[in-house]
Structure 1
């Protein structure tokens, strides 16, 4: 499929540069909107300027609805369009996508486009721009269709036919009262299958799952995941319906959250790191590395403190990295689980956090016992010294348990201190695991020194 679409892009480029506008329009508009946007992003400015003369603003809007809203070139794309064309295109986009693009611009530029739109549409966009981008309000669109409970199926169907073309989705239909309060929901299937004279109030489901306009995007994603929604209504603090969120926006949230967690575990913004210069990348990474370097020196100091022990039993040095590495891996696993659980815990937080810590301790003990038993047998057979194997195994078990506890506690502490647990926790867990593992290992070895020598 990849080669086919690349060949199609080459044909389209030839038609565009050859001024064969009729054939170009036919082939271009036959493609999926995503494919259109990918082709658009391959074009240079001269070709893009020509494209604007071939496509109508509403056709360009369909393509821009699928372009990533955080693309750095978006302001440049708008600037190169005729201002009336750009305003018309933005007005034909879904409100949430248009708002995402406008957020990249300065206030005078935003006003320049909104002033050329119908007042109602411009006011909708201004309203969306007031919300934090990582809340339900920042994710929602106002392009939806709503009805009242006293409408008949026939009247609602006729209204839906009129307004559906401007709605982002009609999979779920929402019912509001005269004040705009959300009172019910029904599916398109239910509307079609009921007789024309039935009132919506008699067929709607009054148990509506909605989300507050100020809810964090992680909470939005969790509700979608729990209820397997395709669309969800957004309400204000008075339960008035103000918009809807669709599943395509939630997929982007999940991707962003996963990227944020991965970036935090690495101590690097992995998305920016792909495109930024080596100097800028090094500038961002050095503070973490230098901080961890000094923390690592504490571990080195600890090892030097047990220099006499190592001189008496040099075999102990062989297993230092084995224990620190395994404990570090266990701590990272526990950290990942803790960060994820903290992101979704909203109710009974203290109970769930306590349960998480206990769970990780028990997990650490269980994995530690099994791992310790394995290494006891391996070292015992390898060195023909099962007491030494027992020392290594016991140290491994305790180090893993402590690392699991640290991995679950660090994100909680970071969150209490007001830091993002994903970003602040990752860089420290491995170094902390090294520190505690060395301390545990040599203290246990000191206790059993006379037995295994």
Structure 2
């Protein structure tokens, strides 16, 4: 990692010096030897005058390679500062799925201006992709792919690939269609290379093709690609017409977005995890959750008020309220993460859902038992009160057992209602379990105090 940082610093210093020198020839000689990902890392560090030099030094086709490595918000910023002819040629050269993602981010007037200047065929492909709902196969598929005819020979197909290959996003899998554009088979590049030139595609193609419907959810696509170890996934409609393909790099982007979304949901920070977002916007996005949880917290205060007599009897009970609440909240959050992860990975079904519930409940019992024994001993020794130790110990035992069930069942029920289980966020579950923990705590305390 240290070597990588040193190498990047050297490249950055070299590129910056060549830009300041103002010699596009020397700049191109160095800059174009770098990987597009490295070019993108260097480009985003440049000030606007330096970026304008890059627009002049590189052709739109050369710039597109690094541009597609940028994040969407960075693409949105930079395309608006480019000279219009340059921006249009970059869009024409981008893969259609990436261009569609970018167009969806742009203001409507600017987007329409670019569409009017783009190549008509490219613009039509991008508009077609933009019609599909977000988070579906159609929204992330690309239309730059190569199809084969079953009656062609391997030799003729290889000749076609030499001509058409540079335009396709990937040629590792080649899909075979019939006269009605229906998907009927798949051939890998390896199969083509090792097969005799006079053999027909129909003789070497695989007829069992793993595919996805155009309206399939993107999370399901990611699981399919992972399950079958695919580099690309064909996208079809209800009549098996081949519409596009989804490549593994698109799937990695999906996994990143879904993981980010789940983290945001679990932490009640949805839409505000971008470090480039301003404090005002971040606060506005987080405020609904914080305010809602504040009102839920008022229930906690009411719960404490309802057991005022118990607190007056033994004031020391108040000292251990945070301990009981915190322990139950932590246990519930752990079970919540286990449940949400299992749902996201698709490992939960009717056969094993009860097994998971029993497992988490058993875990809660064992954790509660261990904590009860430890806290009873500690409180008895430090505070010289076996009664308080018994109250706190039994409360933690019961609270942890209940908390693991709540943390498991809530996301399962939400998922059953066809909602995102991650909305059962950590703060939400913790607040609910806090109230349950207090009720258990004071109920145990009230009951035991009657006997002592």
Corresponding residue SS for 2:233: strand
Corresponding residue SS for 2:334: helix
- Aligned match of 1:365: 365
Does the C-alpha gap of structure 1 residues 247 and 381 become closer, same or farther in structure 2, counting only changes over 3 Å? farther
Unaligned runs of 5+ in 2: none
Aligned to 1:27, which of 22, 25, 30?
30
- Aligned match of 1:136: 137
How far apart, in 2, do the equivalents of 1:356 and 1:204 lie? 42
CA contact (8 A) 2:270 2:286 kept: no
- Aligned match of 1:37: 40
Does the C-alpha gap of structure 1 residues 213 and 355 become closer, same or farther in structure 2, counting only changes over 3 Å? farther
Shift of 1:327: 0.7
Shift of 1:429: 0.9
Count of matched residue positions in the alignment of Structure 1 and Structure 2: 449
RMSD: 2.6
- Aligned match of 1:336: 337
Does the C-alpha gap of structure 1 residues 310 and 91 become closer, same or farther in structure 2, counting only changes over 3 Å? same
- Aligned match of 1:307: 308
Does the C-alpha gap of structure 1 residues 285 and 115 become closer, same or farther in structure 2, counting only changes over 3 Å? closer
How far apart, in 2, do the equivalents of 1:181 and 1:15 lie? 52
Shift of 1:319: 2.5
CA contact (8 A) 1:219 1:344 kept: no
Shift of 1:116: 4.0
Does the C-alpha gap of structure 1 residues 280 and 101 become closer, same or farther in structure 2, counting only changes over 3 Å? closer
Does the C-alpha gap of structure 1 residues 110 and 290 become closer, same or farther in structure 2, counting only changes over 3 Å? closer
Corresponding residue SS for 2:222: helix
Shift of 1:340: 2.7
TM-score normalised per structure 1? 0.90
- Aligned match of 1:238: 239
- The question of 1:8 aligning with 2:21 is answered no
How far apart, in 1, do the equivalents of 2:143 and 2:433 lie? 49
Shift of 1:349: 5.7
Corresponding residue SS for 1:220: helix
Shift of 1:431: 1.0
1:199-278 aligned at under 5 Å gives the runs 199-269=200-270, 271-272=272-273, 274-278=275-279
1:61-100 aligned at under 5 Å gives the runs 61-69=64-72, 71=73, 73-100=74-101
How far apart, in 1, do the equivalents of 2:177 and 2:375 lie? 65
- Aligned match of 1:444: 444
Shift of 1:88: 1.7
- The question of 1:409 aligning with 2:412 is answered no
How far apart, in 2, do the equivalents of 1:171 and 1:158 lie? 15
TM-score normalised per structure 2? 0.90
Corresponding residue SS for 2:105: coil
Shift of 1:49: 2.2
Between 255-264 and 98-107, report the one with greater CA deviation: 98-107
- The question of 1:280 aligning with 2:275 is answered no
How far apart, in 2, do the equivalents of 1:308 and 1:244 lie? 68
Shift of 1:363: 3.4
How far apart, in 1, do the equivalents of 2:326 and 2:93 lie? 55
- Aligned match of 1:393: 393
How far apart, in 2, do the equivalents of 1:380 and 1:190 lie? 74
CA deviation vs aligned residue, 1:85-140 (integer Å, no higher than 9, x gap)? 22221121222112211222345543443444443333222211112231111111
Shift of 1:147: 1.0
Between 215-224 and 57-66, report the one with greater CA deviation: 215-224
How far apart, in 1, do the equivalents of 2:228 and 2:370 lie? 38
Between 355-364 and 2-11, report the one with greater CA deviation: 355-364
How far apart, in 2, do the equivalents of 1:107 and 1:333 lie? 44
- Aligned match of 1:423: 423
